[in-house]
Structure 1
Amino acid sequence: MTWAVAVALSGAFSVAAGAAVHDRALLTAPIRGIGQLALLRALLRMPLWWLGTLLTMAGIVAHLWALTQAPLVVIQPIGITGLLFAVVLSAVFRRRRPSPAQVLGSLAVSLALAGLLTTVPHAQGSAPDAMGLTEIAVIAGGAMALCVAVGRTRRGALRAGSFALASGIAYAATSAFGRVIGIAALADPTAAVQPMTAVAVGIGLTGGLIMQNAYRTDHFTLAYATLMLSDPIAATVIGVAYFGERLPTDPAHAAIAAGAAVLGAAGVVTLARASGPQRPARAGQPPRSDDLSATSA
């Protein structure tokens, strides 16, 4: 399990770097006031966005491999460790220092992760069958749709948080599919070519597009922190409900886990309060539209 954790850590930092590079791409690109198809076309023409995508994909591959070697409830929370790195890198791209609140909030979330990892039982669960995977896809899709619907009716931080929450659910569901498919592919590589792989890719890509819209709100710190928190929480729920994985049951570990959860929540609240628009307006650009309902191309 040591190698799985190490690979997951490297993947977390790669994903964090990719997120910061994506934020930088959205910061510099003339993509305000446009719909989703136009957004995709603009991003696909940007080398910087492709760099962020490659970093993110490398991190996801590392993460998925780690999921084949260790329980979902152990590997999924490791993604939070990249939070402070993403916040610092994004601040560097914006040519400003991270605020004390951003640093403290990120450290609190990372310490909470360390506390949770010491309490999670390291026991492998059983993979769900096709019906279980179908249920995961349907429930995750419904939750994502609800979050997007809420985000479309809000502005600023609430919109960023709602979209990021939808993305976190998407990534957790994709990880669950990835673990099942990855374990099967280790024994038979052709097992990777199946309908559930297409479902997993579809959920993951949808979550990625929603996250780009979360970055468009110009609340990167809040959006990324919400993503990093909602992803492991959703993964833990999936792991317990469908993989037979366990949560800490003895009083000492339960107390540590509860304390870590409170610390993590405090860290996210601190980051939320420190979050705010930092992108200067550009002359000649139309007003920004962050609404996923926009469809103009």
Structure 2
Amino acid sequence: MIAVTLAVLAAVSNALASVLQRHAARTAPANRTSPLGLMRYLIRRPVWLYGIGALIAGFLFQVAALSQAGLALVQPILVTELPFTMIFIAWLFRIRLGTESWLAIGALTVGLVVLLVAAGPTEGDRLPHRAGWAIATVVTIGVIGGLVAFAAILRGEGRAVVLGVAAGLGFAFTAALMKEATKVLAEDPYSLLTSWPAYAMVAAGLCSLLLLQYALRSGTLVAVQPALNVSDPVASIAYGVGLFGEEIRLEAWAVPEVVGVGLILYGSIRLAQSPPLRRHEPVTPPPET
């Protein structure tokens, strides 16, 4: 129960961070396309810095949750970031969410409960070998590289969705490294700063954050968030099972699990199509002054 509460708090913090970062990223001038140029602009925006503060809080809550439970339990709970994001947008910008939006939030929440109850994830007791990490790293970099290359030939919402998937995969890999770091911390706190997982986690997290900024610059938040919130937990379950030996129920349980994922996807898509939220999205960033 403690892990679930911490994961929900992480989702709330991440949702607030997404809204604040999105607001800052969408106001960046059109000619700020290079990574350094975009980051130089964003770091001078107080709202973006507030978003980073919320992101740090979400990170700390996530670390605490992962120290109590496995990836296959903690990361799917972060799907609740999407409805929290929509609620924050409605609250901060005084938008009224209609019945359709609340039904979508309900479908997503029910889907998450069905998925977790059916999967019954249990924490593994295995530490990955270096060979396992090497394979996971190569595969992850290859898939993300392919997604970024594919996004380069797309425009608008399509690019935002693909980059959102890439960012979700990056954050899932970051969570796997975070889980490794928590095990190192539990065994020998003094060795954390000299161990590779901590530095790899920071590098993966920063790269994923940059991918997210470009996704938010490419399209609307309601296009990016569903892709991010579906790819992250699915990839995290795969990392948990493949690297840490976590277990989920399959066979007959696979049917309600697929139903749960379907409800999550359905709720995410319906939220992304919410008319009040889509009307609120700005179309283009302002010109450079």
Same fold (TM over 0.5): yes
- Identify the structure with the greater helix proportion: 2
- What is the Cα deviation at residue 78 of structure 1? 0.7
Distance in 2 (CA, whole Å) between partners of 1:142 and 1:181 is 23
Distance in 2 (CA, whole Å) between partners of 1:282 and 1:176 is 35
2:53 maps to a residue whose letter is L
Q: Which residue pairs with 2:268 in the alignment?
A: 268
- What is the Cα deviation at residue 196 of structure 1? 2.9
- What is the Cα deviation at residue 244 of structure 1? 1.6
1:56 maps to a residue whose letter is L
Provide the alpha-carbon RMSD of the alignment.
Answer: 2.1
- Deviation by residue 1:132-166 (Cα, 9 ceiling, x = unmatched): 12222221111111111111111111111111101
Q: Which residue pairs with 1:172 in the alignment?
A: 172
- What is the Cα deviation at residue 128 of structure 1? 0.7
Q: Which residue pairs with 1:87 in the alignment?
A: 86
Q: Which residue pairs with 2:137 in the alignment?
A: 137
- What is the Cα deviation at residue 100 of structure 1? 4.9
Q: Which residue pairs with 1:213 in the alignment?
A: 214
Distance in 2 (CA, whole Å) between partners of 1:213 and 1:98 is 27
| 2:242 is aligned with 1:259 | no
Question: Which structure 2 segments of 5+ residues have no match?
Answer: none
Whether contact under 8 Å (2:11, 2:79) holds in the other structure is yes
| 2:183 is aligned with 1:161 | no
2:216 maps to a residue whose letter is Y
| 2:201 is aligned with 1:200 | yes
Q: Which residue pairs with 1:293 in the alignment?
A: none
Q: Which residue pairs with 1:279 in the alignment?
A: 282
- What is the Cα deviation at residue 30 of structure 1? 3.8
Q: Which residue pairs with 2:151 in the alignment?
A: 151
Question: Which structure 1 segments of 5+ residues have no match?
Answer: 287-297
Instruction: Name the SS of the counterpart of 1:234 in structure 2.
Output: helix
Distance in 1 (CA, whole Å) between partners of 2:58 and 2:11 is 6
- Deviation by residue 1:235-254 (Cα, 9 ceiling, x = unmatched): 11111222222221352x33
Moved over 6 A (4+): none
Count of matched residue positions in the alignment of Structure 1 and Structure 2: 282
More deviation, 108-117/43-52: 108-117
Q: Which residue pairs with 2:42 in the alignment?
A: 43
- What is the Cα deviation at residue 276 of structure 1? 5.0
More deviation, 157-166/254-263: 254-263
What fraction of aligned residue pairs are identical, expressed as a percent? 27
Q: Which residue pairs with 1:34 in the alignment?
A: 32
| 2:126 is aligned with 1:123 | no
More deviation, 66-75/189-198: 189-198
- Deviation by residue 1:71-117 (Cα, 9 ceiling, x = unmatched): 21011101011211101222444453345554433332222111111
Q: What TM-score results when the alignment is normalised by the length of structure 2?
A: 0.90
Instruction: Name the SS of the counterpart of 1:119 in structure 2.
Output: helix
Q: Which residue pairs with 1:77 in the alignment?
A: 76
